[in-house]
Amino acid sequence: MRSYLKNILKWMDDRGGFSELLKPLTTHLVPPDATWNYVWGSATLFCLVLQVVTGISLGFLYQPSADVAYESLQYIENDAFLGSFIRGLHNWGASGMVFLMGIHMVRVYLNAAYKYPREMSWITGVILMAITIIMAFTGQLLRWDNNGVWSAVVAAEQMGRIPFIGKSISYFLLGGDTIGGETLNRFFSMHVFLFPALIFLMVTYHLYLVFRNGISEPPKAGRPVNPKTYRKWYEEMLQKKGVPFFPDALWRDAIFSALVLVVLLVLAFFVGAPALTTAPDMTNVNVDPKPDWYFTWIFALFALMPREIESYVMFFGPVIGIGLLFALPFLSNKGERSPLKRPWAVAGTLFIVLSISSLWYIGSIAPWSPRFDAEPLTKYTVPKASSQVERGIQLFNDEGCIYCHQIGEQGGIRGPNLTNVQNRLNKDQLIIRIVNGAENMPAYGGSLTKEELADIVEFLLQNQKK
């Protein structure tokens, strides 16, 4: 029996050529000291595989039609066996992919692995990053809840700022003048067919390049890359001390990917995907569109940027950013690779990471958004309030002051906290500010009567007792 099975396997391998196919893995030599710092790319690839599997699973459950997509998501989330877990895994897999890709990129940049002869690896990497971001974005939209559809509007508006062709692009993106049934169809086809196909092409090529040009050896200060001699030197180094890619290097990738899987499984199971917001409806304005975490920093940027330059930044920012990324291997393709000898590269990376992190942080608080759900003040906010102060409190709620200003613990944080405003502004100054507004505060002169104004000011002056 045993030998019978063995014969079958032998036949399959003889006619099917499986060992031949895999042989290059065991004969391909890599630098011996390629260590744990080399696992980021393969972990990103692992996430891609995970996305394909969970994506196909979701495809069996999802209805890509504007009319019922939301219902099918409810089904996935609430009724389907393991549905919410699969959705969670797809969500966290996407997060993992974006995150690991970011680290992979920073690693490659800091070690200058993009220099000769691996320029094309960097360039295809940048393309892959762009496609991944598109995938993350289109995926968020397929959730097709209110958050999803309004995110599509925001994206279209951003595209619309591109000079000359902006309007056509946003028309193309939405599949028309407004959000409609067309929109979901388009995003679905892009997310499920078009861009995955492009990713596969690019990933295959990216991997081919890894084999063709070899894994970059860990940099050493004082050993600059010289395009004239590098290839020969690399070849000789490999001949002398290279180790086979499989299993000497691949085992680390396997372990790390398994680790990533465990983390993603835990996150998917215990945290899950973002909760669905209300059903998509362009006539429902009681929504609070927020992007998924990968875009929170851009969201923050739009809120904080001076509006005079915003249109320019929205257009030139990405153009210059992407342009620089593509240009990088041409700007510097030889010389030192070690971060120890490239302090500016380290400083620049640190600066970008820090800026994005702070934008992230502030974006997650979104202090600029009015808090429509702020708990209204009651007459007890001021102890023993006079009837005028009570009226002032009521107005503070009704006029929407509370959406942007805090009294005590209650209220929004767009504007200054007004709990003790009487220590900063006197009565006249308060009146002037309320009537005239400021750059980020509307003028209330038109909508408040004299008495109402007096009531509010009286209340604000009272506040110290709180």
Within residues 15-34, the interface with other proteins by CB under 8 A covers none
Paired with 407 in beta bridges are 410
* C-alpha to C-alpha distance for 172 and 90, rounded to whole angstroms: 27
Residues ≥6 apart with Cβ < 8 Å to 147: 140, 277, 287, 289, 290
Instruction: Say if residues 188 and 124 touch (Cβ distance below 8 Å).
Output: no
> Which range touches other proteins (CB under 8 A), out of 33-41, 198-206, 243-251, 304-312?
304-312
Of 285, 428, 449, 450, the one binding other proteins by CB under 8 A: 285
* Beta carbon of residue 414, minimum distance to other proteins (angstroms, whole number): 5
* C-alpha to C-alpha distance for 100 and 1, rounded to whole angstroms: 47
Cα 285 → chain centroid = 25
Is residue 62 part of the contact set for other proteins (CB under 8 A)?
no
* C-alpha to C-alpha distance for 101 and 124, rounded to whole angstroms: 13
H/E element holding 29? strand 29-30
Of 307, 384, 450, 465, the one binding other proteins by CB under 8 A: 307
Neighbours of 365 (CB within 10 A): 10
Of 3, 239, 387, 440, the one binding other proteins by CB under 8 A: 440
Instruction: Say if residues 106 and 122 touch (Cβ distance below 8 Å).
Output: no
Handedness of CA 21, 22, 25, 27 (dihedral sign): negative
* Beta carbon of residue 390, minimum distance to other proteins (angstroms, whole number): 16
* Beta carbon of residue 73, minimum distance to other proteins (angstroms, whole number): 14
* Beta carbon of residue 406, minimum distance to other proteins (angstroms, whole number): 15
Within residues 203-262, the interface with other proteins by CB under 8 A covers none
Within residues 95-114, the interface with other proteins by CB under 8 A covers none
Choice between 287 and 356, CB closer to other proteins:
287
The conformation of residue 145, written as its DSSP 8-state character, comes to S
Of 28, 53, 61, 65, the one binding other proteins by CB under 8 A: 65
Is residue 379 part of the contact set for other proteins (CB under 8 A)?
no
Is residue 392 part of the contact set for other proteins (CB under 8 A)?
no
Paired with 410 in beta bridges are 407
* C-alpha to C-alpha distance for 438 and 436, rounded to whole angstroms: 7
- By CB under 8 A, how many residues form the interface with other proteins? 71
* C-alpha to C-alpha distance for 450 and 435, rounded to whole angstroms: 10
Of 42, 158, 216, 419, the one binding other proteins by CB under 8 A: 158
Supply the DSSP string of 76-123, one letter for each residue: HHHTSTTHHHHHHHHHHHHHHHHHHHHHHHHHHHHTTTTSTT-HHHHH
* C-alpha to C-alpha distance for 40 and 257, rounded to whole angstroms: 9
Is residue 326 part of the contact set for other proteins (CB under 8 A)?
no
> Which range touches other proteins (CB under 8 A), out of 6-14, 80-88, 242-250, 283-291?
283-291
* Beta carbon of residue 33, minimum distance to other proteins (angstroms, whole number): 44
Choice between 235 and 281, CB closer to other proteins:
281
Is residue 375 part of the contact set for other proteins (CB under 8 A)?
no
Paired with 225 in beta bridges are 335
Within residues 420-439, the interface with other proteins by CB under 8 A covers 437-439
Is residue 407 part of the contact set for other proteins (CB under 8 A)?
no
Paired with 30 in beta bridges are 243
Is residue 413 part of the contact set for other proteins (CB under 8 A)?
no
Question: In degrees rounded to 5, what are phi and psi of residue 256?
Answer: -65, -40
Is residue 77 part of the contact set for other proteins (CB under 8 A)?
no
Within residues 176-205, the interface with other proteins by CB under 8 A covers 176-184, 186
Choice between 30 and 66, CB closer to other proteins:
66
Choice between 249 and 457, CB closer to other proteins:
457
Of 129, 404, 421, 460, the one binding other proteins by CB under 8 A: 404
Is residue 63 part of the contact set for other proteins (CB under 8 A)?
no
Buried b (16+ CB within 10 A) or exposed e, 58-91: beebbbbebeebbebbbebbeebeebbbbbbbbb
Within residues 137-156, the interface with other proteins by CB under 8 A covers 149-150, 153-154, 156
Is residue 71 part of the contact set for other proteins (CB under 8 A)?
no
Is residue 376 part of the contact set for other proteins (CB under 8 A)?
no
Choice between 233 and 403, CB closer to other proteins:
403
* Beta carbon of residue 307, minimum distance to other proteins (angstroms, whole number): 5
Instruction: Say if residues 6 and 190 touch (Cβ distance below 8 Å).
Output: no
Instruction: Say if residues 88 and 271 touch (Cβ distance below 8 Å).
Output: yes
Is residue 311 part of the contact set for other proteins (CB under 8 A)?
yes
Is residue 387 part of the contact set for other proteins (CB under 8 A)?
no
